[in-house]
Structure 1
Amino acid sequence: MEVSIFKKVLYGIAPEVGASLGKVISPEVIPNFLACQIETRKFSLYILCSENNDWAFVEDYDPESCELIFINNELISSKLKDIYNIKTLTKEELNLPFKATNSMLESDIKYWRPKTMGEGLFNWWD
């Protein structure tokens, strides 16, 4: 996902959910995803989008930490689907046991040994 497209999507949905956006965190080499904080009066979370266009939400995000706690957000998920036809992955899907996808390298999988789909799709692999 290009940063400019990620920003366009975020700036498109923010007014729809009454949210303000934080700084877009763009990786230099790792991790393999973009992140941005989105805040409303009712919640604060980070939206993630991987280099393979996988979308998810996490409670908090520290670029130096390799730990993500995935969450669901029905409001933003529905807006992403309705406006941009983007399907966000649920925490249940991301916490399923790992299964390789076509976009993943076998050498990375053997070396990093992800346990869940979330670890495989949103990672700090170099």
Structure 2
Amino acid sequence: MPDLKVFRRTCHLVATRTRGRVAEFRIADQVTPNFHQGIIDYRDRSVAVVLARDTGAVAVAEPRVVTGRFLEAGPLTFIDFPELIGALKDNAKFTVLTAAELAGPFDAAGWPELSDYDIKSWKPDTLGEALFNYWD
């Protein structure tokens, strides 16, 4: 299990290095989603640094919409943000994946931490679907 304190510190560090500001953390404490979000605000947009609870993989995505108690579900939209990805990789606390890697095919052999049951049930096509999802 990835360490949430390390995730929070990492988000603050990379936000500062990339001239952003951490706006909030959305910590998943239920079965779904299987990832946490650190929302970083920049002048022209907000992005989410997402951390997969099962694998410790990190990526950059469009933030989920939260309305009241309800959270937008469905596949994440991973985005290219080279400066932020570079800062995350330099930090070396997590496995950092790019939008291109996450759009690629999923190979279960490379991710033994994932549930065989979930993989057989949900049949993810991409690495992004397998690592960051709302499966129950």
Write the letter of the residue equivalent to 1:40: Y
Query: How far 1:88 sits from its partner (Å)?
Result: 2.0
Query: How far 1:108 sits from its partner (Å)?
Result: 0.9
Distance 1:90 1:43 in 2: 19
Q: TM-score by structure 2 length?
A: 0.83
Aligned counterpart in structure 2 of residue 83 of structure 1, from 80, 88, 91: 91
Residue 45 of structure 1 is matched in structure 2 by: 47
Residue 5 of structure 2 is matched in structure 1 by: 4
Partner SS state of residue 103, structure 1: coil
**CA RMSD, 1 decimal:** 1.6
Identity, in percent, stands at 29
Distance 1:67 1:94 in 2: 11
| Cα deviation code 1:20-58 (max 9, x no counterpart) | 112100112211111021122244211101111101111
Structure 1 stretch displaced more, 35-44 or 46-55: 35-44
Q: TM-score by structure 1 length?
A: 0.89
Partner SS state of residue 60, structure 2: strand
| Conservation of the 8 A alpha-carbon contact between 1:9 and 1:84 | no
**Are residues 7 and 34 of structure 1, via their aligned partners in 2, closer, same or farther at CA, if it must alter by over 3 Å?**
same
Structure 1 stretch displaced more, 43-52 or 78-87: 78-87
Residue 116 of structure 2 is matched in structure 1 by: 106
Mapping 1:1-126, distance limit 5 Å: 1-29=2-30, 30-51=32-53, 52-62=55-65, 63-84=71-92, 86-100=94-108, 101-126=111-136
Structure 2: gaps (5+ residues) = 66-70
Write the letter of the residue equivalent to 1:22: A
Task: Report the count of equivalent residues.
Answer: 126
